[in-house]
Structure 1
Amino acid sequence: MTDWLDRGAPHVWRPYCQMKTAPTPLPVARTDGARIILEDGRELVDGIASWWTACHGYNHPHIAKAVSDQLARAPHVMFGGLAHAPAYDLARRLAALLPGDLDHVFFAESGSVSVEIAMKMAIQFWINRGVSGRSKFVSFLGGYHGDTLATMTICDPEEGMHSLFSGVMPSQHVVALPRDRDSEAALDALLAEKGYEIAALIVEPRIQGAGGMLIHDDEVLRRLRVLADRHEVLLIFDEIFTGFGRTGDLFACQGAGVTPDIITLSKALTGGTLPLSAAVASRRIFQAFWSDDAGAALMHGPTYMANPLACAAAGASLDLFEAGDWKADVARIELALRRGLEPCRGAAGVVDVRTLGAIGVVEFEAAVDSGGLCQQFAELGCWIRPMGKVVYLTPPFVTTDAELAQLTGVIRKVLGAADSQG
């Protein structure tokens, strides 16, 4: 049943692992709802929704039909000089759902690339307005924005994943989030001193994902908007993780009441079916590129940008969000995660337990044995992949109460937490 795994293993370079020592990956046969079914018939409850993408669960029939129907019409056409309904309809719908005047959608394939596009937009915005020298960015400790070269420069430099590449690309200003008066004053002073070279601030709103699942309150975002306006720099929200319901609002910026100048989207955009991302700009940003001068255009165009299949999937996913059932599910999941993970607070090495929307986090004082824990969770019927110092859950919104109990119960069991859940 798994001959394909043995034959292909010498040729596949896997992500985020030391190939020489990493255990053999679990062979997947199919998926269904919130479950991953392995080739040997075992079923794993997916606690992380395939890196936060499968928000509606796997194999959702409405999304599958939209993709199938589009496949029969046109799987792909280039977006340079051509147009198609799935992309144009999706752009219109995203603009209507996003706050403020975030009306101009530039499509790409991956989240990292959408962040690079947002960075490129921000730099060229100033160039097109006749302002020179604004090519730096301010990002924040604990942040993560991707693995491509430019995005690596705005990730937390101490987080470790990209430390080998220090000095390869221009350095950026990576500072503390303005959580209190002192850190706000420090950022204010930095912008006053270095604003002439800064194109934009960039932040993951409400929770910094891959950098450690670090939660901050909405007041932080309001402070960033005030400081960006005061010093005339742009504000970019990276909602690749937080967008599409994960924190309890469709977009985190909506709940905070803060509209950025550019927002990046990906991950759950297609409901976990096909790669698609977008950098969505405000009218002010777009107007800086609207010109009779061809040199003022944004010269960027990923080959598979606005792929019709992916856009059809995203449109179907938006249908499900607009139906509204996800809101009650996220609230239900938040309560289950809070109750189910709270006993872990007393486990050895645990320093914090926290929840936000459909996100539950157990943080340790030191990095955990991610591979070892992952294997133990899988042996108990759950797919949970820790990272850094955290064991976390970001389950599909369709995960049942019984499946949520299984996920949290397995974590308590493996971590040796007192089980008060009955």
Structure 2
Amino acid sequence: MNKSDLYFDLKHIWHPYSSMNNPIPCYPIISAKGVYLKLNNGKTIIDGMSSWWSAIHGYNNPRLNKSLKNQIKNMSHVMFGGITHPAAILLCRKLIEITPKKLECIFLCDSGSVAIEVAMKMSLQYWQALGEKRCTFLTIRNGYHGDTFFAMSVSDPTNSIHSLYNYLLPSHLFANAPKCNFGEVWDEKDIYSFSKLIEKNRKNIAAVIMEPIVQGAGGMKFYHPKYLKKVRYLCNYYKIPLIIDEIATGFGRTGKLFAYKHADIVPDILCIGKALTGGMISLSATITTKKIAHIISNSKANCFMHGPTFMGNPLACAVASENIAILQEKKWKNQVLKIESILKINLLPLQKHPKVLDVRVLGAIGVVECFYKINIKKIQFFFIQNGVWIRPFNKLIYLIPPYIIDSLSLKQLIDTISKALDNDQFFIY
């Protein structure tokens, strides 16, 4: 990769959440292995982001690589309409193994946002089949569910990256965000706003949708499991389906295989993605109950009206199956516990820093919430110079490293954050 390539990228390639007029600099990565990303100048940097929650086993994992190579010998893709194949069947068998017995019907998708779209369409078609036109969804503030239009509509309308689209989006119901944090004493008043909204609108709500325990891009907040347990109870009471969005939190990130397990509940519709393939290739899934699937299937349409071109992609299914096989060996549990321990010992003390509002740790997630907005361009350059890859947003510097990270590498990530906090030029006052 030469200067000409980088100039072309700058002028013609639009990166996520960036501008074509004044883009945030992009750093050229030419290879990756383990927890290291290699720049085109030969320098290696420690990845603290798992490529946005996904590369949980690090990069170039030999087992995941092998699964892709074996599959591509047979076929890389075949349409899923009217056709099935061994890779999809094996993956769905494994998904049935690791999810609750109640969840029996799997719809394979191609990205996290699409999994949310599918879950919401399922809910609408479910009620339509029952002879009711329910179009409203209930969720909580500070939530984030993806960048496609229906997913944006259930993300926080004011405290989110999607506020400029509000005039186009359908209006839904937003309860106050939980105030009781994970690990704190439960306060029954915390569920009051949600319970009032679900009671008042019980005949219009198609489904409740929640990120379990961890709210991601809406602020990286960790809420009390009792809140989710109460939500499940209220959904049962009013016979309203509960959609759980495990796209970011699934596959061990919070210390449980799925974050909803902290509350000991079972959703009616489960959305998974990101780490489903170990960060190798895009794939997601929406999993629901036989009851919901059968009611939808008995509707006027006689089918569920959705079908992505790359649905059930054999390469993605094959590597997802191997990823789950690795997880089923349960090494991830000790890996995540070790990360959590190091984060608690080394990251939590940053709470005393004058620029820090709060520090939060859960499983393999560490969050430093600052008082001031962060200058992403400047702090990113600093991180690269110090041999780490961390991608902050708004007022948050957070770590979601690969589970295989060693103690020294994790401490280097934390030490670099600590150094950055001491530099005024990285903050916008």
Structure 2 SS opposite 1:353: strand
Q: Is the 8 A contact 2:175 2:197 kept in 1?
A: no
Paired with 1:184 and 1:339, the residues of 2 have a C-alpha distance of 32
| Structure 2 match to 1:284 | 291
Larger deviation: 326-335 or 408-417? 408-417
**Number of equivalenced pairs:** 415
| Structure 2 match to 1:420 | none
Paired with 1:265 and 1:40, the residues of 2 have a C-alpha distance of 36
Show CA shifts across 1:207-254 (max 9, x none): 001111100121111000011111221101000011000001111122
Aligned-pair CA distance for 1:4 = 2.4
Unaligned runs of 5+ in 1: 418-422
Which residue, out of 296, 301, 311, partners 2:317?
Answer: 311
Larger deviation: 141-150 or 226-235? 226-235
| Structure 1 match to 2:111 | 110
Paired with 1:343 and 1:93, the residues of 2 have a C-alpha distance of 40
Structure 2 SS opposite 1:360: strand
Paired with 1:229 and 1:160, the residues of 2 have a C-alpha distance of 29
| Structure 2 match to 1:143 | 143
Which residue, out of 223, 239, 246, partners 1:232?
Answer: 239
Aligned-pair CA distance for 1:390 = 0.9
Which residue, out of 244, 251, 254, partners 1:244?
Answer: 251
| Structure 1 match to 2:347 | 341
Show CA shifts across 1:69-121 (max 9, x none): 10111000000000001111111110110124111110111100100000000
Aligned-pair CA distance for 1:61 = 0.3
Paired with 1:92 and 1:289, the residues of 2 have a C-alpha distance of 22
| Structure 1 match to 2:81 | 80
- The answer as to 2:26 corresponding to 1:33 is no
Which residue, out of 362, 371, 374, partners 1:356?
Answer: 362
| Structure 1 match to 2:134 | 134
Structure 2 SS opposite 1:375: helix
Aligned-pair CA distance for 1:350 = 0.7
TM-score where L is the length of structure 2: 0.94
Structure 2 SS opposite 1:125: helix
Could you say what the CA RMSD is over the residues aligned between the two structures, in angstroms?
1.4
TM-score where L is the length of structure 1: 0.95
Paired with 1:294 and 1:301, the residues of 2 have a C-alpha distance of 18
Paired with 2:255 and 2:301, the residues of 1 have a C-alpha distance of 42
Which residue, out of 395, 403, 410, partners 2:401?
Answer: 395
Larger deviation: 306-315 or 362-371? 362-371
Structure 2 SS opposite 1:195: coil
Aligned-pair CA distance for 1:10 = 2.2
One-letter identity of the residue aligned with 2:85: H
Structure 2 SS opposite 1:201: strand
Q: How does 1:249-328 map to 2 (within 5 A)?
A: 249-291=256-298, 295-328=301-334
Structure 1 SS opposite 2:105: strand
| Structure 2 match to 1:4 | 5
Percent of residue pairs identical: 39
Show CA shifts across 1:334-371 (max 9, x none): 01111121221122321111100000000112322223
- The answer as to 2:15 corresponding to 1:14 is yes
Unaligned runs of 5+ in 2: 181-186, 424-429
Paired with 1:232 and 1:399, the residues of 2 have a C-alpha distance of 43
Q: Is the 8 A contact 1:367 1:389 kept in 2?
A: yes
| Structure 2 match to 1:205 | 212
